[in-house]
Chain A
Amino acid sequence: MKFFYTLTKIDRRLIYLVLTALVILPFFLKFSIPQNIMPQTKKLFDFIERLSPEDNKAVLLSIDYTPQTMPECHPMAISILTHCFKKKIPVLGVSFDPQAPGLAIEAFNTVINNLNARAETNDDSIIYGRDYVYLGWKSGRIAALMEMGEKISTVFPRDYYNNYTDSLPLMERIKNYRDVSIAIILAAADYPQEWLMYAQARYGLKLGAGLTAVMAPKYYPFLQTGQLSGMMSGMKGAAEYENLLLTAGYTEKTGKAEIGMNSQTLIHLLIIILIIIGNIGYVATRRQSVKKQNG
């Protein structure tokens, strides 16, 4: 009886210790737990894979995650940017979360520095204004989302670096949502909901999403109705996209999300075990206390 009682009263600090150890372990013991690719991630990958520079359309990337959700969303941004730039698809970046611009710049710089370091000619390089533009942050996002369907440069007369938007070569052909093949929202809050309401319902813009795992269940119904053309869910979604890029030959190795997934799997196993132990202890001690009460 004492044993079962102990099961229900494990010191939480001991649990934290085991949990931390299991997070750290996979970084030193080199092993890989195989991950399956979920259909929604594959759909998003395939959508971008079908795009061609000849379409003359850009991918609009709304980077709206915050520093605390970087482990989940930052690898997504890196993967999407790598995929687009390797395929020579122009990218238009925007942000509506006040914490996001610094992270967006970091994501762009990481990918561009990496690709430009290997570029041999000007055509191979990724150049600001020609291959990508980061428009920066805008307040009043609902009005902005609607107005961007008419003219993007009205909402963003200047880009993040204070250049006149209309003066940038890429913006000569990207005027509004009609010139955007898909908008991918990487968010740690309910921003995709507003894109669905104001950009898609009104202008028919195709949408994809990269969300924190907490948000993902809420957005599954939009995948089923086709309102979302694909979705990455949390760190797992990011790791899946990294694997898809690797398999397709766009990258030589996976990124931070894939490394984190080994720890993630171990922690999930630990939590399943703890739930089972806790329930066994609860059922056993409850039976005992009922017996005591009866007699």
Chain B
Amino acid sequence: MSFDPWIWIAGFLTLMIFSFLYKDNPFYKFAEHLFVGVANGYYIVFYWHQALKPNLYEPLKAGEFIYIVPLLLGLLYFTRFIPKIGWLVRLPLGFMIGWGAGISIPANIQAFIFKQIEGTIVTPESFNMGWEGLWSLVILIGVICTVIYFFFSTEHRGLLKFGSRLGIVFIMLGFGASFGYTVMARVSLLIGRIQFILGPWLGLIK
């Protein structure tokens, strides 16, 4: 069993959070509020020491006055709280949206559209690698049918109806995989806490 007081605090807080599984109670509420407070405190201190101080305060102190421009742009966000000059918030927003769109649109198209379309192309060479060819075909059919399912400009009749029905099957398979993985992720978190309680805290396992 641990003699470290921090391990004991962490252990009790874990149990307080788990107590919600029985029903809502003051112990859970206390742990929840403490978490919110600690998290906020951490972020404020972290951002000051890791972002504002090295990237703004220290350069300004060293006489690099060009940093006044981003400082002013940042401060303009706060004009939202003053209705008379609230319109000034559009300046940093415009800057961010313009920069963001310019940077992300070409990168998005390149990484997510061109590359993904490339991934659906089936060539005769695909079939030289045994099962790979068959899977390539399944991916191509899956992509087309899923896109058909989301094609709402025409009524789904005939071939479109068949395609959209098949599309639902692929979508459901996707949801099933996501659900399975979500269960695994959530259970992993529980396993992690149990490992902590039984290991570092109670010393029952190595």
Chain B residues with Cβ below 8 Å from A198 are 103, 107
* Shortest Cβ gap from B198 to chain A (Å): 6
The reply to whether A71 and B188 form a contact with Cβ atoms under 8 Å apart is yes
Pick out which of these stretches binds chain A: B44-52, B73-81, B86-94, B159-167.
B44-52
The reply to whether B187 and A263 form a contact with Cβ atoms under 8 Å apart is yes
Interface residues of A in 222-242 (CB under 8 A from B): 224-225, 227, 233-236
User: SS class of chain B's interface: helix, strand, loop or mixed?
Assistant: helix
Q: Does B40 contact A (CB under 8 A)?
A: no
Given known pairs A27-B205, A214-B181, the reply for A201 and B55 (CB within 8 Å) is no
A256 to B195, alpha carbons, bound, how many Å? 9
The reply to whether B46 and A98 form a contact with Cβ atoms under 8 Å apart is yes
The reply to whether B181 and A233 form a contact with Cβ atoms under 8 Å apart is yes
The reply to whether A260 and B188 form a contact with Cβ atoms under 8 Å apart is yes
Q: Does B72 contact A (CB under 8 A)?
A: no
* Shortest Cβ gap from B97 to chain A (Å): 14
The reply to whether B183 and A271 form a contact with Cβ atoms under 8 Å apart is yes
User: SS class of chain A's interface: helix, strand, loop or mixed?
Assistant: helix
Q: Does B2 contact A (CB under 8 A)?
A: no
A-B contact count (CB 8 A): 116
A256 to B194, alpha carbons, bound, how many Å? 12
The reply to whether B177 and A260 form a contact with Cβ atoms under 8 Å apart is no
| Chain B residue at minimal CB-CB distance from A225 | B119
How many B residues, CB 8 Å from partner?
41
The reply to whether A224 and B184 form a contact with Cβ atoms under 8 Å apart is no
* Shortest Cβ gap from B6 to chain A (Å): 13
A139 to B53, alpha carbons, bound, how many Å? 12
Chain A residues with Cβ below 8 Å from B192 are 70-72, 260
Residues of A within 8 A of B (CB): 13, 16, 19-20, 23-24, 27-28, 68-72, 98-99, 136-137, 139, 142, 146, 196-198, 200-202, 212-214, 216-217, 221, 224-225, 227, 233-236, 256, 259-260, 263-264, 267-268, 271
What 9 new A-B contacts, CB under 8 Å, besides A196-B112, A213-B181, A260-B192?
A: A28-B204, A28-B205, A68-B189, A197-B111, A213-B182, A221-B116, A235-B191, A260-B195, A267-B183
